[in-house]
Amino acid sequence: MDPTLILWIGVPLGIILLIAGVAFTVNEQRSFVDERLGRYLEGEDDTFGESEETSTPLTDWINNRVEGSSMGDRIAKELAQADLKLKPGEYVALIIIATFGVGFIGYFYGGRSILFTVLAGGIGFLIPRFYIKRQQAKRLVRFNDQLPDMLNLMVNGLRAGYSTMQAMEAVSKELPPPISDEFRRVVREMQLGIPMEDALANLLRRIPSDDLDLIITALNIQREVGGNLAEILDIISYTIRERIRIKREITTLVAQVLYSGRILAILPIGLGFFLWSINREYMNNFFLPETRLCGVGMLVTGGLMIIAGYFAMNKVADIEI
């Protein structure tokens, strides 16, 4: 073969392979650095070895398929809002396990009926999501209740000569969780070079609170146009305290409606399971071949009416302030 032809082919090929190798190495190093920084921001760097030991090949495989997708980003956001130290793949694996586990229980409890197996599997599929939503709501309520104390601490620090970052660091050290954990993340992000606006935007992404949005807007505006930040936060603190007081009064007034809706929704379902346990032959009349169409239609209609009544009573008790 002509040596000149070998040079014309080999040299460009070698340059292409060299560039590809350098780019691959840089991307690998960058992803490794991003992963380490993410663990530091989340406060998980000390438990790195422990988290690696608790991971399984199944969860790693699911996590690799989920991460980077839109569904994975949405799941990661929901887990961050609930403050659950789970990967998106682990959450998906938990949903799969709950679906098959509860479906397996429904299969034997329901007399090996396919209908009960499917219903139980659907309930198992929804259990992790209900738990996530409940944790998000509880954490959001605790965070909102701590906002007035946080603002008072920041106001006192600013009046004593602290900078905004120093005041946030004082909040992360002096107040209890969850507000201390969230502001500790904000301070860490700012120490790593992330602008304050972006760090506060990440905080609002984890804690979707209207009161927090008002505080962050005030901080961003004050950084751009100036002004007495301590006085602004003091006014916001008074507004939030009054809003919390009014919310608690309204919650007390509508508690009867809320609990009535819950009891009325649970009562027919509990009665149905009770009758199924003590007199299964009577309940099987809904599923006989000659009455199946009417019986299943009655059950579906009753379930839809229960759900509609529950949400209607909750909507009546949900008063915007």
Give, for all 321 residues of the chain, the pLDDT tens digit: 444 544 455 545 556 655 655 444 444 444 444 455 555 555 444 433 344 444 566 556 666 666 666 777 788 888 888 888 888 878 888 888 888 888 888 877 766 777 778 888 888 898 989 999 999 889 998 999 899 999 999 999 999 988 888 999 999 999 998 899 899 999 999 988 889 999 999 899 888 888 899 899 999 998 888 888 889 999 999 988 888 888 888 888 888 878 888 888 889 888 888 888 788 788 888 878 888 788 888 888 988 998 888 888 888 777 776
> pLDDT value at position 152?
92
Entry pTM: 0.68
In CATH terms, the fold of domain 139-249 is Receptor-associated Protein (1.20.81)
Cα dihedral sign for 78, 80, 83, 86? positive
Which pLDDT score, from 0 to 100, does residue 69 have? 64
Q: Which residue has the tokens 């398929």?
A: 65
- The 3-state DSSP class for residue 114 equals helix
If phi > 0 it is left, if psi is from -120 to 50 it is alpha, else beta; for residue 226 that is left
Q: Quote the radius of gyration of the chain (alpha carbons, Å).
A: 28
pLDDT (0 to 100) of residue 13: 54
Give me the pLDDT at residue 21, please. 52
58: left (phi over 0), alpha (psi -120 to 50) or beta: alpha
Rounded CA gap, 160 and 139, in Å? 31
How far apart are the C-alpha atoms of 242 and 244, rounded to whole Å? 5
Distance CA 213, CA 220 (A): 11
State the pLDDT at residue 290. 83
Q: How many other C-beta atoms are found inside a 10 Å radius of the C-beta of residue 183?
A: 22
pLDDT of residue 52: 44
What pLDDT is recorded for position 8?
52
Under a CB-based contact definition with an 8 Å cutoff, are residues 94 and 84 in contact? no
Query: How does DSSP classify residue 176?
Result: P
How confident is the model at residue 104, as a pLDDT?
84
In the DSSP assignment, the letter for residue 59 is H
**What does the DSSP 8-state code read for residue 257?**
H
Distance of CA 135 to the CA centre of its chain: 8
3-state SS, residue 208: coil
Crossing angle of helices 179-191/164-174, nearest 10°? Answer: 140
